[in-house]
Structure 1
Amino acid sequence: MSPVPYITKWSAEEAPALRVVAKGRGIGYADERPYDRDSNGVLWTRVPALPGKGRPEFGRVHALRQQRAIRELLCQVCGRPADRDSDGVLWLLGEDPGDPGFWTTDLNTTHPPLCMPCAVKSVRSCPHLRERYVPLRARAFELAGVRGAFYRPGYPAPVATEVTEVAFGDPRIHWLRAGQLIMRLREFRITSLESYTA
């Protein structure tokens, strides 16, 4: 059986029902606490951290562990430091390597990097990655924004309208309840997992 990825949400980690209210230039929680926002003032989904409790919910991401893995360059599967060499940090994207339009600009991703052993295991065990994947080495990257639930003003409370991505510096970020951090990969090259032997 494959290990449960570090960033996977577990069934016991259900976010509590929180009342979202209009606050300042955007939204906040009615009972907002200091740790509900990051250092950029972005409101985050409040979720308990109970890894291993209940059953893993593959395909769903735990907001705090995803944020930590992106910020600290931790492997999204094992939670240890991601693979890094002279060509950069290892990322694995589920994209078509033959799509020329995909590779013409910087890449934004919510997927944290990986260590080499976990990257190899992932392409063997994940049904989505078995069909297509691109391993990248990125030398230059930066935090670019957040992905989450976007709200609009409403009465008696703001109304969630869609899940979207908003860049840092965009004033709409004050109307977003973040669930994932976005990393922009600037200088990268396609690499290979073929030479690695577990």
Structure 2
Amino acid sequence: MTTLIPAPTEPKIRVPYVIAYSGELRTDPIWFGKDRYGRRLRYMREARGDWNEYGALRARVGQRRNGQPLWRKLNTARQWRCMEKLLCQVCGQPATCEDGRIPWILTDRVVRDDDRDPGVKFTSAPPTCLACIPEARELCPQLHGSFSAYSVGGVGYHGVLADMYEPGLKWEAIPTGERNVEIPFVQSYLLRVALAHQLLVRLSNLHPLPISGPS
């Protein structure tokens, strides 16, 4: 009698809270409507939550986490929620420590220094709670090389990463080909022609965390 040996199953990997799924992508039509200042990018059928308080038009996404995980893409709504509420990008729970400081792990791809203040950094990467940092280091390929880890004391909104558009002859929205453009909120004229995908924050009062180096 032949004994059937079940095939080994691959271990399930937890998909970080901030990662987008294929079933969440949306392509709601956008165009250039008119307001008292001229033309500006907007959805054809506007909805609550399209705009943030600084006037950035946010890309619409679903929230069901259905389909396949898109490991290189962040869900716009969850990325903003993590930044605004200081939630861990892995588990989605509050990342703030008991002392009020927030742990943050950063790679060169998602951070840059403030030219006017060397002690300040700008990033699109949400925080990572202390409990999830070991898992993040093990599973994220970007953290297998060099990265920096900080305990952050100050967080402020800086701007967005956005795709740029220009109006066509019939006010249709035509992509310019410029993607992931950094737009500070003070440059409101650029926000009028941009579809924002990620929120950028300003990190200050940074203290190094002793977990740097490859995993």
| TM-score normalised over the length of structure 2 | 0.80
Partner of 2:88: 75
Partner of 1:169: 186
Gaps of 5+ in 2: 1-11
Question: Does the Cα contact within 8 Å between 2:28 and 2:60 map onto a contact in 1?
Answer: no
Q: Per-residue deviation at 1:17?
A: 3.8
Q: Per-residue deviation at 1:117?
A: 1.9
Distance 1:150 1:101, change over 3 A: closer
Gaps of 5+ in 1: none
Residue of structure 1 aligned with 2:59, choices 28, 33, 45: 45
Question: Does the Cα contact within 8 Å between 2:119 and 2:205 map onto a contact in 1?
Answer: no
SS at 1:124 equivalent: helix
Distance (Å, rounded) in 2 between the aligned partners of 1:153 and 1:14:
24
Superposed CA offset, 1:111-153 (max 9, x none): 1101112111111221111111111111112011111111223
Distance (Å, rounded) in 2 between the aligned partners of 1:33 and 1:41:
14
Give matches, 1:4-43, under 5 Å.
4-24=15-35, 25=38, 26-43=40-57
SS at 2:24 equivalent: coil
Residue of structure 2 aligned with 1:112, choices 121, 126, 140: 126
SS at 1:141 equivalent: strand
Q: Per-residue deviation at 1:47?
A: 1.3
Matched, 1:136 2:171: no
Distance 1:67 1:120, change over 3 A: same
Query: Which one-letter code corresponds to 1:88 in the other structure?
Result: R
Query: Which one-letter code corresponds to 2:103 in the other structure?
Result: L
Identity of aligned residues (%): 27
Matched, 1:159 2:174: yes
Higher Cα radius of gyration: 2
SS at 1:2 equivalent: coil
| TM-score normalised over the length of structure 1 | 0.86
Distance (Å, rounded) in 1 between the aligned partners of 2:114 and 2:201:
19
Distance 1:37 1:152, change over 3 A: same
Matched, 1:59 2:76: no
Question: Does the Cα contact within 8 Å between 2:165 and 2:193 map onto a contact in 1?
Answer: yes
Distance (Å, rounded) in 2 between the aligned partners of 1:100 and 1:49:
32
Q: Per-residue deviation at 1:49?
A: 1.1
**Paired positions, count:** 191
Which has the larger helix fraction?
Answer: 1
CA RMSD of aligned residues (A): 2.4
